[in-house]
Amino acid sequence: MRKRVIVHKGVYYDSVKLMLVTNEMNALEGILETAVVMGTDLNKETLRRTDLISPEAEAATPTDMIVAFAAESEAAIDAALKNLDDSLNARSAAEESGAYRPKSLDTAVKMQPGSNLCIISVPGKYAKDTAMEALRKNLHVMLFSDNVSLEEELELKQYAAQKELFVMGPDCGTAMINTIPLCFSNKVNRGDVGIVAASGTGAQEVMVLVSEHGAGISQVIGTGGRDLSVEINGLMVLQSLAALNEDTETKVIVLISKPPAPSVAQRVISFIKEKIEKPVVINFLGQSFAQKTDGVIHFEQTLEDAALKAITLSAGIKKEPLMKNEIIETIAANEGAQLGDTQTHICGLYSGGTLAYECLLMLEDAYDYVESNLSKKHKVKDLQNLAAHTTIDFGEDAFTVGRAHPMIDPSLRNASFVDALKNESVAVLILDMVLGYGAHMEPHKVFVDSLHKFNGNSAVGSRHVPVIVNIVGSKNDPQNYQQIAKDLESAGVIIAPSNQSAVKLAIAILEQKRMQGGK
Amino acid sequence: MSTNALFQQRLQVVNIGLEQFQADLSSQNVEVIQLQWRIPTTEDKRVKAILDAFAKLDEEGK
């Protein structure tokens, strides 16, 4: 086997482009493994693990591109390098269409007069300056970039508030404005439920559930996950609530966030009581309230409950939980009976942060010890060898610096999925499968392939590992929802109608195994 | 202009960064222009401060 590692200083390509180029290189004859990545710590760590690192690559910075090959021969690497330039410089469909691409925002707004929204997904280091420039030009901003400091976020949001502009973000992956899904967002039915979300996949879960179960969506405004922190003090949440209150298409408002700082929660609740006339469903994930309602406010503890309450308020339909207890008990009895003695832990591998967090809260309610990269109490000790109830958010900053989000590039999450399948202590696996614009067209495929390989591998014995998947998607999304569900089911996966029901089911399976004493 | 004025407007988007977002919007017939973004040539804080000052003057119409 031959290896070659090359570093290109001061070269930038976006993470999706590099992922696609890596996939193209991997398909070439004689190439065993390729990595075309920016020189971030996470990427260098991955290169170390796969033994594709060199001293020069170790010294690379996030603004350097590392190209690493393992191949059958030097000739194969030479041929791949010739292809690499073509792939990196390949023109996208938009470029092929002949559309001129301006190099400055000044030129862009001159070329497209009436521009009103700027979507920004440049590396975090450059995001604030780019967003400020857009705000100065009176553009609303959707800031997809992460790794933006709190100080920078505050400066942007204070400036935007003066100009009555939205700053959706930073780290905002989901919005839907005037029925147009932006970045990671689903194609849902139009309706009168408006969503304000300090949580991307939380918004996706609720918008999909509302749309698929009897109502529709007017707007989804993402605020970035830290908007309800003490430092930002709900600047964009309050602005968004006020905007939806005035929006004639919106009848019901849903507010989704991780539990805010208590002072900020109080500020938001007071603001709603004083200024908002429409019903507001609040889901501060996992936070319970003494009363279920307070004036126009309805408090709900889970994303599913928030969605069902919004449907009730919008369409007057009283909804039952999406997965009935009898169904959960039946599946749990069947699956629990097939588990072995060593299988003791639930493992949630998520691409969606809020879904991972909801899973963490539910597991912590059921068990004393749960590990998670989202937990303040117990961090994940060993990603390759999970030894406790665990939930992991693969979309967290540490996993996405210089590489595509797990909804676009499932490879990291799939590697952990394979490790977890082989892990004798894992009893049940939970995955989210997020569909919609921005997401992978076949996000399930690598997991289905891994499952087929696992099930066909006699070396792991007859161990049965139930895999529960919540598909966060609508039938109108660009992906083929029905086919994805069919492929998953044919690999033995249990499809749950929501994240809440997926976790409930996992806990019920383990409880059944405990009651039945295992195999 | 107020924040919710955006809800009455046709979306016209400038996309800076991931090209997938531009492609997704185009496929929905949304007017979108893709910026050809590159890492800034200077990271010198003094130069950035001067450029910011110019941008502010420009905004104030001076």
- A398-433 pLDDT, tens per residue? 787 667 889 988 988 999 999 999 999 999 999 999
* Spatial distance between the Cα atoms of A166 and A242, rounded to a whole number of angstroms: 12
Q: How far apart are the first and last CA of chain B?
A: 22
With the C-alpha atoms ordered A393, A395, A400, A403, is the resulting torsion angle positive or negative?
A: positive
A427-471 tens-digit pLDDT? 999 999 999 999 999 999 999 999 999 988 766 667 899 999 999
B9-43 tens-digit pLDDT? 999 999 999 888 999 999 999 999 999 888 776 66
* Spatial distance between the Cα atoms of B23 and B32, rounded to a whole number of angstroms: 9
Residue from A137, A178, A251, A476 to probe the interface with B (highest B Cβ count within 10 Å): A178
Task: Report pLDDT for B38.
Answer: 80
Whether residue A84 contacts residue A25, with contact meaning beta carbons closer than 8 Å, is answered with yes
DSSP assignment of A183-234 equals ESB----EEEEEEEES-HHHHHHHHHHHHHTT--EEEEEE--TTTTSTTTTT
Task: Report pLDDT for A306.
Answer: 97
Q: How confident is the model at residue A92 (pLDDT cuts 50, 70, 90)?
A: low
Among A50-59, A291-300, A498-507, top mean pLDDT goes to A498-507
Strands A190-197 and A167-168: unpaired
* Residue with more model confidence, A90 or A188: A188
DSSP assignment of A45-114 equals HHHHHTT---HHHHT--TTSEEEEEEES-HHHHHHHHHHHHHHHHPPPHHHHTT----SSHHHHHHHSTT
Contacts of A203 (CB under 8 A, 6+ apart): A174, A175, A195, A197, A220, A222, A256
Q: What is the mean pLDDT of residues A26-30?
A: 88
Q: What is the mean pLDDT of residues A19-47?
A: 86
Task: Report pLDDT for A11.
Answer: 81
* Spatial distance between the Cα atoms of A507 and A503, rounded to a whole number of angstroms: 6
Q: What is the mean pLDDT of residues A181-209?
A: 96
Residues of chain A with pLDDT > 70: what percent? 97
* Residue with more model confidence, A306 or A99: A306
Two tokens, residue A173: 């992956």
Contacts of A226 (CB under 8 A, 6+ apart): A150, A153, A171, A198, A232
* Spatial distance between the Cα atoms of A268 and A233, rounded to a whole number of angstroms: 9
φ and ψ of A263, to 5 deg: -65, -35
Tell me which amino acid residue A165 is: L
A504 pLDDT higher than 80? yes
Pick from A102, A114, A164: CB nearest B2: A164
Task: Report pLDDT for A101.
Answer: 86
Phi-psi region of A444 (alpha: psi -120 to 50; beta: other; left: phi over 0): alpha
Q: How confident is the model at residue A396 (pLDDT cuts 50, 70, 90)?
A: confident
Cβ neighbours of A317 (radius 10 Å)? 12
Is the pTM higher than 0.80? The answer reads yes
Nearest Cα to Cα of residue A239 among A141, A127, A126, A354: A141
Min distance A161 CA to chain B CA atoms (Å): 9
Note whether A288 contacts B: Cβ–Cβ < 8 A. no
CA distances in angstroms from A210 to A315, A450, B31, listed in the order given: 10, 32, 28
DSSP assignment of A250-304 equals -SEEEEEESPPPHHHHHHHHHHHHHH--S-EEEEETT---SSSEETTEEE-SSHH
Q: What is the mean pLDDT of residues A344-350?
A: 97
Q: Which runs of E-coded beta strand occur in A295-397? A: 297-299, 345-350, 370-372, 389-393
* Predicted ipTM of the assembly: 0.84
- Residue identified by tokens 């994240």 is A499
* Spatial distance between the Cα atoms of A278 and A246, rounded to a whole number of angstroms: 10
A212-259 tens-digit pLDDT? 999 999 999 999 999 999 999 999 999 999 999 999 999 999 999 988
For residue A399, what is the DSSP state?
A: H
Collapsing DSSP to helix, strand or coil, A316 comes out as coil
The answer to whether B28 contacts A181, with C-beta atoms less than 8 Å apart, is yes
Q: How confident is the model at residue B1 (pLDDT cuts 50, 70, 90)?
A: very low
CA distances in angstroms from A235 to A198, A256, A297, A424, listed in the order given: 11, 15, 19, 47
Tell me which amino acid residue B3 is: T
Task: Report pLDDT for A457.
Answer: 73
A519 pLDDT higher than 60? no
Lowest-confidence region among A247-256, A400-409, A477-486, A487-496: A400-409
Please give the residue of chain B at the shortest CA–CA distance from A136: B59
Q: Note the Cα A413 to chain centre separation in Å.
A: 12
Whether residue A200 contacts residue A353, with contact meaning beta carbons closer than 8 Å, is answered with yes
Note whether A91 contacts B: Cβ–Cβ < 8 A. no
Pick from B12, B30, B33: CB nearest A102: B33
Question: Could you tell me which residues of chain B have a Cβ less than 8 Å from any Cβ in chain A?
Answer: 1-7, 9-28, 30-31, 33-40, 48, 55, 59
B55 pLDDT higher than 80? no
With the C-alpha atoms ordered A433, A437, A441, A446, is the resulting torsion angle positive or negative?
A: negative
Note whether A112 contacts B: Cβ–Cβ < 8 A. yes
The answer to whether B3 contacts A130, with C-beta atoms less than 8 Å apart, is no
Two tokens, residue B20: 């997938």
Two tokens, residue A466: 């139930």
Whether residue A144 contacts residue B17, with contact meaning beta carbons closer than 8 Å, is answered with yes
Residue from B3, B19, B62 to probe the interface with A (highest A Cβ count within 10 Å): B3
Whether residue A360 contacts residue A391, with contact meaning beta carbons closer than 8 Å, is answered with yes
Two tokens, residue B53: 């000052």
* Spatial distance between the Cα atoms of B32 and A444, rounded to a whole number of angstroms: 30
Q: How far apart are the first and last CA of chain A?
A: 44
Chain B hits for A90, CB-CB cut-off 8 Å, are none
